[in-house]
Structure 1
Amino acid sequence: MAEAVPDGENLLVSTWGDGAEIHRWSIASGDSMWRCEAELPGCNDVVLFSLPDGRRIIAVATEDGVERWNAVTGEPLDGLDSSSAGWTVWGLAAGTLPDGRSTLVGAGNNGTVQRWDAASGEPMGAPLRGHGTTVMAVGLMHLSAAETVIVSGDDSGFLRRWNAESGDPIGDPAAGHASRVGIIVPLPGVGARKLFASSAADEICRWDMATGEQVGGPLTTGADVFSLATACPGGTPLLLAAGADGQVVTWNANTGEPSGITLRGVHVAALDQPDGTALVVTGTSQGEIIVYSLSE
């Protein structure tokens, strides 16, 4: 996970051993800035996000709710409201609502999608119900300046869309995959088409979140996909997939055409830079963390 911090230095945080070890790293020097050996009941997903007051937070989805830390200092923070305790959270997403509030969204094995105020940890309304089976992944996308959409995917392969502020469902469920939806990410810089991507096994589908319709054919990697990321170096939107074969495959997010860029890693994160380049960080099965800079 990577994000910019107020002093201009990029923030890099990694987890290891099902979240039992969390590190913040200096990208410039490669030094560990802080290290936390946490006793967590699993590490199903991790997000790094900013609060309106400037704090950077890391949140970890576990078998027993969500835990949080200050990502800059490593200080442990209170877990989310106890309504999340006692059930497994499989996926997380974070973002800013049109009214300026930061929200954290969780996907759970109780078949619900839950929203929290990311600053206070308090629930934002009742859990969202409609899947009828375990929800495995969530994403948060901006449909317009006035509307933010939650996309959730379950272990039956269905996708649902929700208004992030009201919690109201949008449209009908979409049959996304023959197997479970494991990852959902927003795609950057795609013009009028606001897209998101979902993944099951070695298949990635692109979707128009305004209509709920699939865009183009599925993209395949030939190996199980472990993580997805997006970047926009030089204004070209890229979709990156890291998987079981230790390769990171990239496509043009608009066209679905291969970009010709292949990197090493089983996990991938990306961060667009002010100079038009993109910082891409991969983790390998040997425990290496590799930093790449992509340009146009």
Structure 2
Amino acid sequence: MTFRGEPDPGALLVPALGRDGRGGAVLLSTGAGCDVHRWDPATGRLLWRFTGAGPVSEVAVACPPRRGPLVAVATDLGVERVDAATGTAVPDEEMGDVDTIWDVTCGVLPDGRAFIAGAAQCEGLVHCWDAATAERLGPLPANDDRPVKAVTSMTLPDGTVLIAAENEAGVIRRWDAATSEPVGAPIHGAGEYTMRLVSLAMPGNRSLLASLDMNGTLSRWDAITGEQVGGPPELGPDAVGIAAGCLGDTGMLFISTVGGPTEVRDIISGAPAGTPFPGVNPSALTCPDGSLLLATGGARTGEMHLYRLTVPAD
């Protein structure tokens, strides 16, 4: 399905997929300004448009218990919370005016509380909050003052909720989200000036991290041990976007180049694993039925594409 921007059809659409807490998908888009859009993934209809207080870096979806999902909007001022059903702001002055937040992730703690974590410009911090109440749960210190450019989260096989963040020098640090305690030693990646960090929990109790730097260096690590997985494939500086998801038992990376297309690669080997998809800036979501949703921005501004990938029948 192809989505076209409204009311400005020439606006750049950068997709972001999240869960709605009931097994469904939330499809969002951002662009070059302060706007966030939510779309109906079944019909392509624009559901709402939210204009934030500052330019938007990234968005993610949190699902607090006993209420509907919230969209966490990372801006150059902090994090804004938006009701995912209505597109209206859920105000909190402290979250919205804390620091430049480059990236944001959401998850659920073992006690059932949903959290929001943001990668901050100053003091090498990852700020964490309770998604429903905006109560502070962090920050998570990185022990250096380099800006943190990317953050991701996942639940490990033993139930530990892991937050991983990468600074602009390519150093990844991991924390237990429930205790704020470090997990393992810092991972010194092969890349430099990281652009994106993603995580993927795979069947068979395997958990991986993958990052992409500004030179197109793709690196993967075991999220628990920190050991490198495979060698860095040669992608080149035109590789600018990355997303991860599982299709059946296979972990996949979706990597876009400037102007497209979006390549498909095996997350373990790094080898090509399918036909490229049109578009750029991929976002992926593993679905409960084993299928995978992939969204890409159109190579032309004002478009976004949504694909549902399924496991081929035997």
| Equivalent position of 2:27 in the other structure | 12
* Letter paired with 1:250: V
Q: State the match for 2:268 in structure 1.
A: 254
1:227-258 deviation digits (Å, cap 9, x = unpaired) = 32222223322111223241111112233221
Runs of at least 5 residues in structure 2 that lack an aligned partner in the other structure: 1-15
TM-score (norm 2): 0.85
1:107 equivalent to 2:119? Answer: yes
1:49 is aligned to: 62
| Cα shift readout 1:155-180 (whole Å, capped 9, x = no counterpart) | 11111111211112222222113412
1:30 aligns to 2:75 (yes or no): no
The number of equivalent residue pairs is 293
In the TM superposition, residue 57 of structure 1 has moved relative to its aligned partner by: 1.3
1: CA distance, partners of 2:268 / 2:119: 27
Unmatched segments (≥5 aa) in structure 1: none
Distance 1:271 1:129, change over 3 A: closer
Which of the residues 200, 207, 210 maps onto 2:221? 207
**What does residue range 1-296 of structure 1 map to in structure 2 within 5 Å?**
1-5=16-20, 10-18=25-33, 20-36=34-50, 38-79=51-92, 82=94, 85-110=97-122, 111-201=124-214, 202-286=216-300, 287-296=302-311
Local SS of the residue matching 2:253: strand
Give the AA of the match of 1:108.
A
The offset of 1:123, in angstroms, is 0.7
SS in 1 for 2:72: strand
Q: What's the offset of the Cα at 1:126?
A: 4.2
For residues 162-209 of structure 1, the C-alpha deviation after alignment (integer angstroms, 9 at most, x for no partner) is 121111222222211341222111123252431111111212111111
Please report how far the alpha carbon of residue 86 of structure 1 lies from its aligned counterpart in structure 2 after TM superposition: 4.5
Post-superposition offset of 1:293: 1.8
Please, what is the CA RMSD of the aligned residues? 2.1
C-alpha deviation, 1:83, in angstroms: 6.2
Find the aligned partners of 1:144 and 1:8 in 2 and give their Cα distance: 20
Contact preservation (8 Å) 1:190, 1:254: no
Q: How far 1:289 moved relative to its partner?
A: 0.9
Report the Cα offset of residue 290 of structure 1: 0.8
Question: Residues 247 and 220 from structure 1, CA distance in 2 versus in 1: closer, same or farther, beyond 3 angstroms?
Answer: farther
Q: Secondary structure at the match of 1:113?
A: strand
Counterpart Cα distance in 2 of 1:190 and 1:290: 27
SS in structure 1 at match of 2:201: coil
Relative to structure 1, the CA distance from residue 245 to residue 223 in structure 2 (aligned partners, 3 Å threshold; closer, same or farther) is farther
Percent of aligned positions that are identical: 34
Higher RCO (Cα < 8 Å, 6 or more apart): 2
Residue by residue, what CA displacement relative to the aligned partner does 1:121-144 show, whole Å, maximum 9, x if unpaired?
Answer: 111144424133111111112223
Contact 2:125 2:139 (C-alpha < 8 Å) held by counterparts: no
Whether the aligned pair in 1 keeps the contact of 2:170 and 2:194 (CA below 8 Å) is: yes
Report the CA distance between 1:108 and its aligned residue: 0.7
Distance 1:194 1:75, change over 3 A: same
- The TM-score with structure 1 as length reference comes to 0.90
The CA deviation at 1:7 is 7.2
| CA distance, structure 2, for counterparts of residue 8 and residue 178 of structure 1 | 35
* Secondary structure, aligned partner of 2:274: strand
Partner of 1:214, secondary structure, is coil
8 Å CA contact 1:190, 1:253 repeated in 2:
no
Pair 126,107 (structure 1): closer, same or farther in 2 beyond 3 Å: closer
